[in-house]
Structure 1
Protein backbone atom coordinates (compact mmCIF):
# COMPACT_ATOMS: atom_id res chain seq x y z
CA UNK A 1 0.00 0.00 0.00
CA UNK A 2 2.12 2.93 1.19
CA UNK A 3 2.49 5.49 3.92
CA UNK A 4 0.63 8.82 3.73
CA UNK A 5 2.78 11.96 3.83
CA UNK A 6 1.89 15.59 3.36
CA UNK A 7 4.27 17.60 1.22
CA UNK A 8 5.72 20.14 3.64
CA UNK A 9 6.19 22.60 0.76
CA UNK A 10 2.74 22.63 -0.91
CA UNK A 11 0.47 20.61 1.41
CA UNK A 12 -0.44 17.94 -1.15
CA UNK A 13 -1.03 14.41 0.16
CA UNK A 14 1.26 11.69 -1.21
CA UNK A 15 1.78 7.94 -0.73
CA UNK A 16 5.26 6.45 -0.41
CA UNK A 17 6.12 2.75 -0.04
CA UNK A 18 7.28 2.30 3.59
CA UNK A 19 10.32 0.27 2.54
CA UNK A 20 11.42 3.10 0.21
CA UNK A 21 11.16 6.12 2.51
CA UNK A 22 14.84 6.96 1.99
CA UNK A 23 14.72 6.56 -1.80
CA UNK A 24 14.34 10.28 -2.52
CA UNK A 25 10.61 10.38 -3.31
CA UNK A 26 9.26 13.75 -4.36
CA UNK A 27 5.85 15.36 -4.19
CA UNK A 28 3.72 14.49 -7.20
CA UNK A 29 2.46 18.08 -7.36
CA UNK A 30 5.42 20.40 -6.70
CA UNK A 31 8.45 18.08 -6.83
CA UNK A 32 9.73 18.91 -3.33
CA UNK A 33 11.45 16.07 -1.42
CA UNK A 34 9.03 14.24 0.91
CA UNK A 35 11.58 12.81 3.35
CA UNK A 36 14.63 14.96 4.04
CA UNK A 37 17.57 14.71 6.40
CA UNK A 38 17.10 18.27 7.63
CA UNK A 39 14.29 20.28 9.24
CA UNK A 40 11.88 22.04 6.89
CA UNK A 41 10.32 25.44 7.67
CA UNK A 42 6.54 25.13 7.52
CA UNK A 43 3.44 27.29 7.83
CA UNK A 44 0.66 26.66 10.29
CA UNK A 45 -1.70 25.64 7.46
CA UNK A 46 0.72 22.95 6.26
CA UNK A 47 1.18 21.77 9.86
CA UNK A 48 -2.58 21.48 10.40
CA UNK A 49 -2.85 19.19 7.38
CA UNK A 50 0.32 17.18 8.08
CA UNK A 51 -0.54 16.54 11.72
CA UNK A 52 -3.90 15.19 10.62
CA UNK A 53 -2.87 12.77 7.86
CA UNK A 54 0.85 11.93 8.15
CA UNK A 55 1.56 8.33 9.10
CA UNK A 56 5.28 8.94 9.66
CA UNK A 57 6.06 10.83 12.87
CA UNK A 58 6.37 14.58 12.35
CA UNK A 59 8.56 16.30 14.93
CA UNK A 60 7.92 20.06 15.01
CA UNK A 61 10.19 22.62 16.67
CA UNK A 62 8.20 25.70 17.70
CA UNK A 63 10.75 28.51 17.91
CA UNK A 64 11.40 32.25 17.53
CA UNK A 65 14.43 34.15 16.23
CA UNK A 66 14.79 36.22 19.42
CA UNK A 67 15.00 33.06 21.59
CA UNK A 68 18.59 32.19 22.60
CA UNK A 69 17.82 28.58 23.59
CA UNK A 70 15.99 28.13 20.26
CA UNK A 71 19.08 29.26 18.36
CA UNK A 72 21.29 26.99 20.51
CA UNK A 73 19.10 23.96 19.83
CA UNK A 74 18.77 24.49 16.06
CA UNK A 75 21.97 22.59 15.13
CA UNK A 76 21.02 19.77 17.53
CA UNK A 77 17.59 19.52 15.91
CA UNK A 78 19.28 19.28 12.50
CA UNK A 79 21.57 16.47 13.73
CA UNK A 80 18.55 14.55 15.02
CA UNK A 81 16.84 14.99 11.63
CA UNK A 82 19.88 13.42 9.93
CA UNK A 83 19.99 10.53 12.41
CA UNK A 84 16.28 9.72 12.08
CA UNK A 85 15.77 10.19 8.33
CA UNK A 86 13.19 7.66 7.17
CA UNK A 87 11.90 7.12 10.72
CA UNK A 88 10.54 10.63 11.34
CA UNK A 89 10.31 13.97 9.55
CA UNK A 90 11.44 17.22 11.17
CA UNK A 91 9.89 20.66 10.72
CA UNK A 92 10.25 24.11 12.25
CA UNK A 93 7.43 26.58 12.85
CA UNK A 94 8.33 30.20 13.60
CA UNK A 95 5.98 31.34 16.39
CA UNK A 96 6.60 35.00 15.49
CA UNK A 97 5.41 34.47 11.92
CA UNK A 98 2.45 32.37 13.13
CA UNK A 99 1.41 33.76 16.54
CA UNK A 100 -1.85 31.78 16.46
CA UNK A 101 0.27 28.66 17.09
CA UNK A 102 0.57 29.67 20.76
CA UNK A 103 -3.12 29.21 21.47
CA UNK A 104 -3.72 26.34 19.08
CA UNK A 105 -0.91 24.17 20.49
CA UNK A 106 -0.90 25.41 24.10
CA UNK A 107 2.62 26.78 23.85
CA UNK A 108 3.84 28.06 27.22
CA UNK A 109 7.56 28.15 26.46
CA UNK A 110 9.97 27.73 23.57
CA UNK A 111 11.77 25.91 22.17
CA UNK A 112 8.97 23.35 22.19
CA UNK A 113 9.07 20.03 20.35
CA UNK A 114 5.79 18.28 19.58
CA UNK A 115 5.60 14.87 17.89
CA UNK A 116 2.53 14.21 15.73
CA UNK A 117 1.40 11.06 13.91
CA UNK A 118 -1.91 10.02 12.38
CA UNK A 119 -3.92 12.93 13.76
CA UNK A 120 -2.61 12.65 17.32
CA UNK A 121 -0.04 14.39 19.44
CA UNK A 122 2.37 11.68 20.55
CA UNK A 123 4.43 13.77 22.98
CA UNK A 124 6.08 17.11 23.74
CA UNK A 125 9.32 18.46 25.21
CA UNK A 126 10.05 22.03 26.26
CA UNK A 127 13.52 23.56 26.45
CA UNK A 128 16.77 23.22 24.55
CA UNK A 129 17.98 19.61 24.40
CA UNK A 130 20.78 17.76 22.63
CA UNK A 131 20.42 15.75 19.43
CA UNK A 132 20.97 12.58 21.48
CA UNK A 133 18.08 13.52 23.79
CA UNK A 134 15.86 14.29 20.79
CA UNK A 135 16.59 10.97 19.08
CA UNK A 136 16.14 9.05 22.35
CA UNK A 137 12.82 10.83 22.97
CA UNK A 138 11.53 10.14 19.47
CA UNK A 139 12.60 6.47 19.40
CA UNK A 140 11.26 5.86 22.93
CA UNK A 141 7.73 6.46 21.75
CA UNK A 142 7.17 10.16 21.15
CA UNK A 143 7.40 9.56 17.45
CA UNK A 144 8.97 6.55 15.76
Structure 2
Protein backbone atom coordinates (compact mmCIF):
# COMPACT_ATOMS: atom_id res chain seq x y z
CA UNK A 1 0.00 0.00 0.00
CA UNK A 2 1.28 3.45 -0.93
CA UNK A 3 2.16 5.72 2.00
CA UNK A 4 2.27 9.49 2.31
CA UNK A 5 4.21 11.64 4.75
CA UNK A 6 2.10 13.91 6.91
CA UNK A 7 3.59 16.43 9.31
CA UNK A 8 1.63 16.49 12.57
CA UNK A 9 0.02 19.92 13.04
CA UNK A 10 0.56 19.61 16.81
CA UNK A 11 4.13 18.32 17.34
CA UNK A 12 5.55 18.57 13.78
CA UNK A 13 6.71 14.94 13.74
CA UNK A 14 6.57 13.17 10.36
CA UNK A 15 4.01 10.38 10.07
CA UNK A 16 3.92 7.86 7.20
CA UNK A 17 0.30 6.86 6.74
CA UNK A 18 -1.48 4.76 4.09
CA UNK A 19 -2.75 6.88 1.20
CA UNK A 20 -6.56 6.76 1.10
CA UNK A 21 -9.39 8.75 -0.44
CA UNK A 22 -10.75 9.55 3.03
CA UNK A 23 -9.89 8.85 6.66
CA UNK A 24 -12.15 8.08 9.60
CA UNK A 25 -9.28 8.28 12.07
CA UNK A 26 -5.58 9.08 11.90
CA UNK A 27 -3.46 9.93 14.92
CA UNK A 28 0.15 11.05 15.25
CA UNK A 29 2.47 8.23 16.24
CA UNK A 30 4.35 10.58 18.54
CA UNK A 31 1.90 12.92 20.34
CA UNK A 32 -1.26 10.84 19.61
CA UNK A 33 -3.26 13.93 18.55
CA UNK A 34 -5.46 13.71 15.47
CA UNK A 35 -3.85 14.25 12.07
CA UNK A 36 -7.35 15.12 10.84
CA UNK A 37 -7.19 18.49 12.63
CA UNK A 38 -7.82 21.10 9.92
CA UNK A 39 -7.18 24.26 11.94
CA UNK A 40 -4.50 26.32 10.19
CA UNK A 41 -1.12 26.02 11.89
CA UNK A 42 1.06 29.04 12.74
CA UNK A 43 4.59 28.51 11.42
CA UNK A 44 7.83 30.38 12.11
CA UNK A 45 11.50 30.24 11.08
CA UNK A 46 12.13 27.17 13.25
CA UNK A 47 9.55 24.89 11.61
CA UNK A 48 8.61 26.34 8.20
CA UNK A 49 11.16 24.47 6.06
CA UNK A 50 10.58 21.22 8.00
CA UNK A 51 6.83 21.34 7.28
CA UNK A 52 7.18 22.35 3.60
CA UNK A 53 9.86 19.77 2.73
CA UNK A 54 8.35 16.83 4.63
CA UNK A 55 4.69 17.16 3.56
CA UNK A 56 3.56 14.93 0.72
CA UNK A 57 0.28 16.85 0.59
CA UNK A 58 0.10 20.44 -0.69
CA UNK A 59 0.83 23.13 1.90
CA UNK A 60 -1.19 26.32 1.53
CA UNK A 61 0.63 29.21 3.23
CA UNK A 62 -1.17 32.42 4.18
CA UNK A 63 1.33 35.25 4.65
CA UNK A 64 -0.62 37.82 6.70
CA UNK A 65 -0.41 40.52 9.40
CA UNK A 66 -2.83 41.36 12.24
CA UNK A 67 -3.27 45.01 11.13
CA UNK A 68 -4.24 44.04 7.55
CA UNK A 69 -7.97 44.51 6.79
CA UNK A 70 -8.11 42.07 3.84
CA UNK A 71 -6.19 39.52 5.96
CA UNK A 72 -8.80 39.79 8.72
CA UNK A 73 -11.56 39.46 6.12
CA UNK A 74 -10.00 36.34 4.61
CA UNK A 75 -9.05 34.57 7.88
CA UNK A 76 -12.48 32.94 8.47
CA UNK A 77 -12.63 31.92 4.78
CA UNK A 78 -9.16 30.33 5.07
CA UNK A 79 -10.29 28.45 8.22
CA UNK A 80 -13.57 27.28 6.65
CA UNK A 81 -12.00 26.06 3.40
CA UNK A 82 -9.29 24.22 5.39
CA UNK A 83 -12.05 22.09 6.98
CA UNK A 84 -12.82 20.57 3.55
CA UNK A 85 -9.33 19.11 3.10
CA UNK A 86 -8.36 16.86 6.05
CA UNK A 87 -5.16 15.01 5.06
CA UNK A 88 -5.52 16.36 1.50
CA UNK A 89 -3.88 19.77 2.07
CA UNK A 90 -2.23 21.44 5.06
CA UNK A 91 -3.20 25.07 5.74
CA UNK A 92 -0.61 27.18 7.54
CA UNK A 93 -0.16 30.85 8.42
CA UNK A 94 2.91 33.08 8.70
CA UNK A 95 2.54 36.39 10.53
CA UNK A 96 4.79 38.72 8.54
CA UNK A 97 4.62 41.45 11.20
CA UNK A 98 5.96 39.14 13.90
CA UNK A 99 8.34 37.47 11.41
CA UNK A 100 9.54 40.16 8.97
CA UNK A 101 12.48 37.98 7.91
CA UNK A 102 10.02 35.37 6.61
CA UNK A 103 8.24 37.96 4.48
CA UNK A 104 11.56 39.19 3.10
CA UNK A 105 12.87 35.66 2.49
CA UNK A 106 9.87 34.75 0.35
CA UNK A 107 9.55 38.09 -1.41
CA UNK A 108 6.16 38.94 0.07
CA UNK A 109 5.33 42.41 -1.29
CA UNK A 110 1.66 42.61 -0.32
CA UNK A 111 -0.59 40.76 2.07
CA UNK A 112 -2.44 38.58 2.18
CA UNK A 113 -0.36 36.44 -0.13
CA UNK A 114 -1.12 32.76 -0.52
CA UNK A 115 1.63 30.42 -1.65
CA UNK A 116 1.02 26.77 -2.56
CA UNK A 117 3.90 24.36 -2.01
CA UNK A 118 3.93 20.79 -3.25
CA UNK A 119 6.82 18.37 -2.71
CA UNK A 120 8.81 21.22 -1.17
CA UNK A 121 8.51 23.47 -4.25
CA UNK A 122 6.47 26.64 -4.71
CA UNK A 123 3.78 25.88 -7.31
CA UNK A 124 1.55 28.94 -7.21
CA UNK A 125 1.29 32.38 -5.61
CA UNK A 126 -1.73 34.68 -5.33
CA UNK A 127 -1.85 38.11 -3.68
CA UNK A 128 -5.05 39.56 -2.26
CA UNK A 129 -8.00 38.15 -0.37
CA UNK A 130 -9.83 35.26 -2.02
CA UNK A 131 -13.46 34.25 -1.70
CA UNK A 132 -14.25 30.64 -0.72
CA UNK A 133 -14.69 29.46 -4.34
CA UNK A 134 -11.40 30.95 -5.57
CA UNK A 135 -9.54 29.57 -2.55
CA UNK A 136 -11.08 26.11 -3.05
CA UNK A 137 -10.13 26.23 -6.74
CA UNK A 138 -6.56 27.15 -5.82
CA UNK A 139 -6.36 24.15 -3.49
CA UNK A 140 -8.04 21.76 -5.93
CA UNK A 141 -5.54 22.69 -8.66
CA UNK A 142 -2.73 21.50 -6.40
CA UNK A 143 -4.23 18.14 -5.37
TM over 0.5: yes
Q: Which residue of 2 aligns with 1:84?
A: 85
CA distance in 2, matches of 1:76, 1:46: 24
Structure 2 CA distance for partners of 1:20 and 1:133, relative to 1, 3 Å: closer
Q: Which residue of 2 aligns with 1:14?
A: 15
SS in 2 for 1:125: strand
CA distance in 2, matches of 1:81, 1:55: 17
CA distance in 2, matches of 1:9, 1:105: 24
What is the count of residue pairs matched by the alignment? 142
Q: Spell out the pairing of 1:1-144 with structure 2 (5 A cutoff).
A: 1-19=2-20, 22-140=23-141, 143-144=142-143
CA distance in 1, matches of 2:61, 2:68: 16
TM-score, scaled relative to structure 2: 0.88
- The alpha carbon displacement at 1:51 in A equals 0.9
Moved more, 58-67 or 3-12: 3-12
RMSD: 1.7
CA distance in 2, matches of 1:7, 1:85: 12
Residue 35 of structure 2 contacts residue 87 of structure 2 at CA under 8 Å; is this kept in 1? no
CA-to-aligned-CA distance 1:7-38 (integer Å, 9 cap, x gap)? 23322111111117533322222233323233
SS in 2 for 1:100: helix
Higher normalized helix content (fraction of residues) = 1
CA distance in 1, matches of 2:91, 2:49: 15
Unaligned runs of 5+ residues in structure 1 are: none
CA distance in 1, matches of 2:117, 2:91: 10
Structure 2 CA distance for partners of 1:35 and 1:97, relative to 1, 3 Å: farther
- The alpha carbon displacement at 1:43 in A equals 2.4
